[in-house]
Amino acid sequence: MKDITVRQARETDAAAIAGLLTQVGKVHSEGRPDIYRPHITKHNERSVSAMISGGIYKLFVAESEGKVIGELICRVQERDGDAFYRPRKWLYVDDLCVGEEARGSEAAPLLMGAAENYARDLGCAAVELNCWAFNKRAARFYEKAGYVPQRTEYEKKIK
């Protein structure tokens, strides 16, 4: 893979990002067909465009030779302090996807680095994300990047 650059997404990237999110949908529907519909994208081009322009989410793309090869969608979250919780501000990564043809390249580390720099610039205490138990490759990537499990969710199927 030739030089990879990361930048903030533009509305003209919406179709490429939606295409990558189709790959995310495929991974999820194959990993948990009891939860996810087959090969459905999480966001279509219109909803991605709205996220880019809406101000709540920050979207980054990785590019190589003028083509979007990866995306990261994140948003700042804050919690006021109370009797139980301390006040806290963190960046939550909703989605990270590198296209099949670019997996194993530097795209994912560069995208996560952009998110971490963004979080640092905003004064966030941490970057958080979730990773499904079936997605071993992603879990290995996050752990290699210095992420550690924060909590574990359990389920027991009763049907």
Helices 14-31 and 45-54, interaxial angle, to 10°?
120
Instruction: Say which DSSP state 55 is in.
Output: S
The per-residue pLDDT string of the chain (159 residues; one tens digit each, 9 = 90 and over) reads 689 999 999 999 999 999 999 999 999 999 999 999 987 777 999 999 999 999 999 999 999 999 999 999 999 999 999 999 999 999 999 999 999 999 999 999 999 999 999 999 999 999 999 999 999 999 999 999 999 999 999 999 998
Cβ-based neighbour number of residue 55 at 10 Å? 8
- The answer as to CATH 3.40.630.30 being correct for domain 4-144 is yes
**What spatial distance separates the first Cα and last Cα of the chain, rounded to whole Å?**
46
Q: What is the pTM of this model?
A: 0.94
